[in-house]
């Protein structure tokens, strides 16, 4: 097929989003034994996965389970921390660029379990050299916060807290097996976090959920205006891993994003059109340093915990539990890498483009360094088509999605990373 034909065939297919690869089987031929080597990566980030939640939202694609009893929670934390300590011992010269604790919902742990996790993370971090822009972050939900957990985050030195809201419309949430939290309650938690010194709060919202419309989005914007988080992230619903693949049309998704975008800009947030992260401070791109370096430089990261992903310039790996997660896995004494893929340069480049699509742009110099050849030449045909059709714009080093291109951003970016057939 020609590039225009491929583009047309993917335009309305929801599988083309920021997920890459589309199916783990696509990388089967690159699978190797053993863990991904990090000996040559001095500067990297850590990601810690806590796969527990108080409730299981039906729209969620992440590896997660209902929070188990305290004994199993503690055993899980011990194993993750012991994996981090071992990695640290084996890589004594590493410099940490980011450190995110995500999930799941880390704050679904008990007060004691969460304090234990935060204390252990503080200790692990204490001996490590960090970059100047190092900004660790922890994910949470409002309905699992407590005074004790907020204090534990503040005491650990973490200054960024990311909370899921998804939508302020409880009728929408309730149909998705998720409880809403009152505005006053949210304000109280945020005030407490800020007073404790957690200076940066991000709120996640989603669009594409059944029942969302222009009215519910106005309610979301009014909530943002009241709560005044420093950052906002907009996630378009992905359904690749879900049984229920119901999605609104691309036009509706585009209209919803556009409404959020214009509303957020009028509230003082900054982001180029097509980026899904917003911030009152344009320099931080609305994300933690871990995510920023992944989006901007294809920086390496090591994941700890069940199903966590790691990446460097040689490949990608997934810890146990990525494909099918059973409770018995919680009893493992180490959450090692189950699937390791040693990837050719064009696959590493593809993964980078898919990740950077969150910012609506990718860097040609980063791509050239991953490919070991000139990216503008390598992707000459794709670029000519996308520039000529006003789907992408040339911003020098950055190739940025246009408003027209954003309506079908998955189809646009996939031209650079999926075989054109």
Ligand X SMILES: C[S@@+](CC[C@H](N)C(=O)[O-])C[C@H]1O[C@@H](n2cnc3c(N)ncnc32)[C@H](O)[C@@H]1O
Q: Which of 17, 63, 105, 378 binds ligand SF4 (CB under 6 A)?
A: 105
**CA triple 97-308-69, angle to 5 deg:** 115
Verify binding: residue 104, ligand SF4, rule CB under 6 A: yes
**What, of ligand SF4, ligand X, none, does residue 102 touch, CB below 5 to 8 Å by kind?**
ligand X
Which x/- pattern over 160-179 shows residues binding ligand SF4 (rule: CB under 6 A)?
----x---------------
Q: Which of 20, 59, 409, 416 binds ligand X (CB under 6 A)?
A: 59
Which x/- pattern over 264-303 shows residues binding ligand X (rule: CB under 6 A)?
----------------------------------------
Verify binding: residue 14, ligand X, rule CB under 6 A: no
Interactions with ligand X, residue window 118-157 (CB under 6 A): 139, 141
* Total number of residues that touch ligand SF4 (CB under 6 A): 11
Q: Which of 209, 237, 375, 398 binds ligand X (CB under 6 A)?
A: 237
Q: Quick one: tokens of 261?
A: 């975008």
Provide long-range contacts, Cβ within 8 A and 24+ apart, for 296-299. 296/356, 296/359, 296/363, 296/366, 297/363, 297/366, 298/348, 298/351, 298/352, 298/355, 298/356, 298/366, 298/370, 299/43, 299/44, 299/45, 299/97, 299/98
DSSP states along 61-97: -S--EE---HHHHHHHHHHHHHHHHHHHHH-TT-EEE
Q: Quick one: tokens of 211?
A: 């029942």
Verify binding: residue 208, ligand SF4, rule CB under 6 A: no
Q: Which of 73, 79, 97, 105 binds ligand X (CB under 6 A)?
A: 105
Give the distance, in angstroms, between the CA of residue 49 and the centroid of all CA atoms in the same chain.
Answer: 12
Interactions with ligand X, residue window 177-206 (CB under 6 A): 204, 206
What is the distance between the alpha carbons of residues 336 and 333, in angstroms, rounded to a whole number? 9
Question: How long a stretch of residues is the chain?
Answer: 421
**What, of ligand X, ligand SF4, none, does residue 56 touch, CB below 5 to 8 Å by kind?**
ligand SF4
What is the distance between the alpha carbons of residues 318 and 399, in angstroms, rounded to a whole number? 29
Q: Between residues 6 and 140, which has the closer beta carbon with respect to ligand SF4?
A: 140
Give phi and psi for 35, each to the nearest 5: -80, 165
Q: Which of 32, 35, 62, 131 binds ligand X (CB under 6 A)?
A: 62
What is the distance between the alpha carbons of residues 90 and 74, in angstroms, rounded to a whole number? 24
**Residues contributing to the site for ligand SF4 (CB under 6 A):** 53, 56-57, 60, 62, 64, 103-105, 141, 164
**Residues contributing to the site for ligand X (CB under 6 A):** 59-62, 102-103, 105, 139, 141, 164, 166, 204, 206, 235, 237-238
């Amino acid at each position: 097929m020609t590039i225009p034909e491929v583009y047309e065939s993917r335009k309305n297919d929801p599988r083309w989003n920021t997920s890459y690869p589309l199916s783990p089987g696509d990388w089967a031929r690159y699978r190797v034994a053993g863990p991904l080597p990090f000996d040559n990566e001095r500067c990297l980030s850590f990601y810690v996965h806590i796969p527990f939640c108080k409730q299981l939202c039906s729209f969620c694609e992440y590896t997660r389970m209902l929070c188990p009893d305290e004994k199993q929670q503690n055993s899980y934390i011990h194993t993750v921390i012991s994996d981090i300590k071992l990695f640290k011992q084996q890589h004594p010269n590493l410099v940490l660029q980011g450190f995110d604790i995500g999930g799941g919902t880390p704050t679904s742990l008990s007060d004691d379990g969460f304090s234990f996790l935060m204390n252990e993370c503080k200790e692990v971090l204490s001996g490590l050299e960090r970059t100047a822009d190092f900004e660790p972050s922890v994910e949470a939900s409002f309905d699992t916060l407590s005074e004790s957990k907020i204090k534990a985050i503040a005491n650990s030195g973490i200054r960024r807290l990311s909370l899921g809201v998804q939508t302020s419309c409880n009728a929408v949430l309730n149909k998705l097996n998720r409880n809403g939290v009152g505005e006053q309650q949210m304000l109280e938690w945020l005030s407490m976090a800020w007073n404790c010194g957690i200076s940066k709060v991000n709120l996640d919202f989603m669009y594409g959920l059944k029942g969302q419309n222009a009215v519910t989005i106005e309610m979301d914007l009014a909530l943002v205006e009241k709560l005044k988080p420093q950052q906002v992230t907009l996630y378009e619903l992905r359904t690749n891993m879900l049984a229920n693949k119901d999605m609104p049309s691309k036009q509706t998704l585009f209209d919803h994003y556009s409404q959020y975008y214009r509303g957020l800009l009028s509230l003082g947030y900054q982001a180029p059109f097509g980026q899904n992260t917003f911030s009152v401070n344009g320099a931080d791109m609305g994300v933690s340093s871990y995510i920023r370096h992944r989006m901007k430089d294809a920086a390496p990261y090591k994941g700890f915990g069940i199903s966590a992903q790691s990446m460097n310039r040689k490949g990608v790996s997934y810890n146990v539990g990525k494909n099918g997660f059973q409770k018995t896995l919680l009893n493992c004494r180490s959450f090692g890498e189950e699937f390791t893929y040693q990837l050719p340069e064009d696959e590493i480049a593809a993964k980078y483009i898919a990740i950077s699509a969150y910012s609506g742009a990718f860097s040609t110099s980063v791509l050239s360094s991953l490919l070991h050849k000139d990216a503008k030449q390598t992707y000459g045909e794709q670029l000519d088509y996308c520039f000529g059709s006003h789907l992408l714009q040339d911003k020098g080093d950055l190739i940025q999605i246009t408003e027209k291109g954003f309506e079908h951003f998955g189809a646009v970016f996939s031209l650079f990373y999926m075989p054109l057939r």
